[in-house]
Amino acid sequence: MMAAPDSLQGAPLRIGVVGLGRLGKRHAQNLAYRVRGASLAAVCSPLDDELTWARSALPAPREYRDYAALLDDRDVDAVWLVTPSALHAQQIVDALHAGKHVFCEKPLSLDLAECERVLEVAQRAPHLQATIGFMRRFDASYRDAYDKIQAGLIGRPFMVRSQTCDLNDPDGFFVRFAPTSGGIFLDCTVHDIDVARWLLGKPKAKRVYATGTVALHDGLREFGDVDNGVAICEFEDGRLATFYASRTMAHGNDTGSEVIGTAGALAIGRNPRLNRVEIADVHGVRNECTPTFFDRFEDAFLYEAQAFVAAVKGGQNSSEASGATLADALEATRIGSALRHSLETGQAVTL
Ligand SMILES: NC(=O)c1ccc[n+]([C@@H]2O[C@H](COP(=O)([O-])OP(=O)(O)OC[C@H]3O[C@@H](n4cnc5c(N)ncnc54)[C@H](O)[C@@H]3O)[C@@H](O)[C@H]2O)c1
């Protein structure tokens, strides 16, 4: 077995995971069992069934029902927020005030002023790492495309087409989630926004237009949300992006992006196949599709956790090597909020 890099040796980074819902359970298991240099020291959830799950699935972390109590735990170095999006900003601020490093799931906040407040607090604590979980940056195919663009393979990239499309959930989990999710653009397209800015060299957005439709889930109407949304984003210097988000795919999670440059183009995940098995039968020749975002990005969630821990232990606070910075996440919320406003008003929005 290869020796761990120096930065991963020594005392582990003691992490407290906050929120053990759909995604928090996955993060907790990664941190407990698959991330070198980390130890899962504590978990926090207000729900009995989630704490019961933690007792059976995790290596006996300390349990908290109250986030403030976890922040008082001096034997926690970093918090891992996997809580509802509307709570993120305040929870990050509280973590930084308590002297903890923070990993927080996307989006940074649904509210731009809240994002700005987090950045102000973080600027006063430059010794603490604060990263937002745009895990596509850690997917091997997205990373390969990024490296090829940096190497000049497609010339100057000027256009991204990107989509986040989920398998239809007839139970309507996301309809119940709609009051707190921020809507399809801040919940789903925010990933594509981050990918587009990352691959196009971090341009600022100038103007956006968004529209959408309710194809299947009428319950979304009362929240002003849609289950299929499309958008155009104009960046400075003539760079462009188009986005598509859907909650109603019949075939699975179909997430991918294309980058078009002056000397070529790259397509990432165009065929959302589950694996390399091709089925030939009376229906034709086909692949099975990745069922959920987690099946598609399982490795990326692990690599982002490994990168965060390596960055903190290596002292590279705020380095991009550990993922999207707070400033990147603020820009993603700025654009996502403008898309939501455009959807609501039917007008283009100038930023
Ligand atoms: N990166 C991705 O692709 C991706 C995918 C899914 C979800 N997410 C993000 O992850 C976050 C959580 O999503 P989810 O699907 O796991 O939601 P969920 O509703 O399944 O889980 C939320 C968790 O937060 C806990 N919680 C609620 N209030 C709390 C509080 N005050 N203190 C501590 N814990 C509290 C709940 O008990 C629950 O465990 C959201 O911000 C979402 O945007 C990201």
Q: Give the Å distance between the CA of 88 and the centre of ligand 1.
A: 10
Which residues, in sequence order, are CB contacts of 265 under 8 Å at separation 6+?
Answer: 154, 258, 259
pLDDT tens profile 115-144: 999 999 999 999 999 999 999 999 999 999
- Does residue 300's CB lie within 6 angstroms of at least one atom of ligand 1? no
- Closest Cα partner for 214 from 178, 238, 243, 180? 178
**What residue's CA is closest to ligand 1, atom 35?**
19
Q: Are 227 and 248 in contact (CB under 8 A)?
A: yes
Q: Give the Å distance between the CA of 345 and the centre of ligand 1.
A: 29
Percentage of the chain lying above the pLDDT 70 cut: 97
How high is the mean pLDDT of the chain? Answer: 95
- Omega before 46 within 30 of 0, i.e. cis: no
pLDDT tens profile 179-224: 888 999 999 999 999 999 999 999 999 999 999 999 999 999 999 9
> Residue 1 — pLDDT band, cuts 50, 70, 90?
very low
* Mean pLDDT calculated for residue range 275-293: 96
Q: Give the Å distance between the CA of 44 and the centre of ligand 1.
A: 12
How far is Cα 334 from Cα 321, in angstroms, rounded to an integer? 23
Q: Which residue has the tokens 């398998």?
A: 167
User: Ligand 1 pocket: which of 17, 18, 20, 22 to mutate (most atoms <8 Å of CB)?
Assistant: 22
How much is the pLDDT for 317? 65
How much is the pLDDT for 340? 97
How much is the pLDDT for 176? 87
How far is Cα 348 from Cα 210, in angstroms, rounded to an integer? 7
- The region of weakest confidence among 100-109, 151-160, 194-203, 312-321 is 312-321
- Does residue 21's CB lie within 6 angstroms of at least one atom of ligand 1? yes
Indicate whether 92 pLDDT > 60: yes
Phi-psi region of 144 (alpha: psi -120 to 50; beta: other; left: phi over 0): alpha
Q: Give the Å distance between the CA of 273 and the centre of ligand 1.
A: 27
User: Ligand 1 pocket: which of 26, 63, 65, 82 to mutate (most atoms <8 Å of CB)?
Assistant: 82
pLDDT tens profile 14-62: 999 999 999 999 999 999 999 999 999 999 999 999 999 999 999 988 9
> Residue 319 — pLDDT band, cuts 50, 70, 90?
low
Indicate whether 2 pLDDT > 60: no
- Does residue 258's CB lie within 6 angstroms of at least one atom of ligand 1? no
Indicate whether 236 pLDDT > 80: yes
Which residues, in sequence order, are CB contacts of 204 under 8 Å at separation 6+?
Answer: 235, 236, 331, 351
Indicate whether 227 pLDDT > 90: yes
How much is the pLDDT for 181? 87
pLDDT tens profile 106-115: 999 999 999 9
Q: Give the Å distance between the CA of 127 and the centre of ligand 1.
A: 27
Which residues, in sequence order, are CB contacts of 222 under 8 Å at separation 6+?
Answer: none
Higher pLDDT, 9 or 232: 232
Q: Give the Å distance between the CA of 82 and the centre of ligand 1.
A: 4
Q: Residue 50 CA: which ligand 1 atom is closest?
A: 39
162, 184, 218, 299 from 296: Cα distances, Å: 15, 19, 28, 8
